[in-house]
Structures are given as C-alpha cells and as structure tokens.
Amino acid sequence: MKRIAVLASGGGTNFQAVLDACEQGRIAGRVVCLIYNRREAFARQRAQRAGVPAYYISLRQYEGLEDMQAAVHERLCACEADIVVLAGYLLRLGPQTVRRWRGRIVNTHPALIPSFCGQGFYGERVHQAVLDYGAKVSGCTIHLVDEQYDTGPILLQEAVPVLEDDDAHTLAARILPVEHRLLVQAVALLCDDRVHVEGRRVTLLPQSAPIQ
C-alpha cells in the first residue's frame, strides 16, 4: 500500500475523490496527510472527517516562498509519502520536492494542456478563458509535476465539448466529474507502478498478472 500525501487550497472535491477511491479499494494506497495553504479551505474538514492528519502551511507564516516550500518538503518527508497529489493546490512546489518525488507527483488541470494553462490559470479563470477564446472543446489533463506550472509530462487527458449556452460555471460543473475520475485513475496507476516516463512521453504499463 502506497502512502499518499495530498495538497489542496480549496474545497477539496478532488481530495475527496481520492479518499473515497482508497476506501473502496480502487487505489492501492492510503492518504497519510493533507497539506493546505488557506485556513478556510474546506479540504481540511474533509481530512478531519476521514481521520487524516491535516497541516496548515501558508506563505503568510514564512518570510518568502522558498521558506514555505522548504516547510512543505519537510512535512512530506516526515509523513514518508510515496505519492504526492496536487488536488487544486495553487502554489508551486520547491525544486527539492520535485527532485525527490519526480515522476511521483501528479496534478490535475481543468483544460487540455498545453492550452489555457500556466501561472494564473486556475479554477473558473480557466473556463472563462476557454469561452472567451471561442474554443469548441475543453476538458481536463492529469500530468506529472516538474519545476514549472503545468509543464510536466501528460499522464491522462479527456475532452469535454463546450456547449453554445455554457458559462464558466456550467462548463466547470461538466468537467469536474471527469477530473475526479481521471485523477483517481492516475493515482491508482502510480500506486501500481504502472507509469513509465521517458522524456515527455508517458507509457502506461499493463497490469501485472496475479500470482497463481
């Protein structure tokens, strides 16, 4: 069973999807900690209900981003995480964290990378940008994390059509369940050691046959 650490900034619906999948046996792992950076983040209450230790680590507590990133790194080391999941976490991880967990940090983004992504593209801002551009298709991307925003190798993607009467809220509402499903699938793949990365290309390895 892999040890999963989750980082979140907001409501934590992706976090809840991972919690539920672990509880149901769809992920061969268990969530061992939540790190959140906003005191009002509802993700904390989800962790409390699930009996998962939650740690508030905010930029407000430190002199600069590097100090905060170091604190996040120390907490991930302390909880002995095997897999790190960014579930709506709006800050960038420090380079030491990326190096230590390279290929084992996964993030979800509510658009089809490389479109409508990068610093400042999060939440309904992404969906509004899609609508303003007049795109006919959006979707979501699950990618491995590197040192920049939304630039790591793509693990999973799925398209969602943009409807004529969509606004940012309705488009977000249709994409969110796809995010939940793909994130759970991605975490399960990582926990089963079925992800092979070569450069930017990600290959999903076949599931091992059960021992007879």
Residues marked as catalytic? 109
3-state secondary structure the chain: CEEEEEEECCCCHHHHHHHHHHHCCCCCEEEEEEEECCCCCCHHHHHHHHCCCEEECCHHHCCCHHHHHHHHHHHHHHCCCCEEEECCCCCCCCHHHHHHCCCCEEEEECCCCCCCCCCCCCCHHHHHHHHHHCCCEEEEEEEECCCCCCCCCEEEEEEEECCCCCCHHHHHHHHHHHHHHHHHHHHHHHHCCCEEEECCEEEECCCCCCCC
Residue 54: which of 73, 32, 85, 28 has the closest Cα?
32
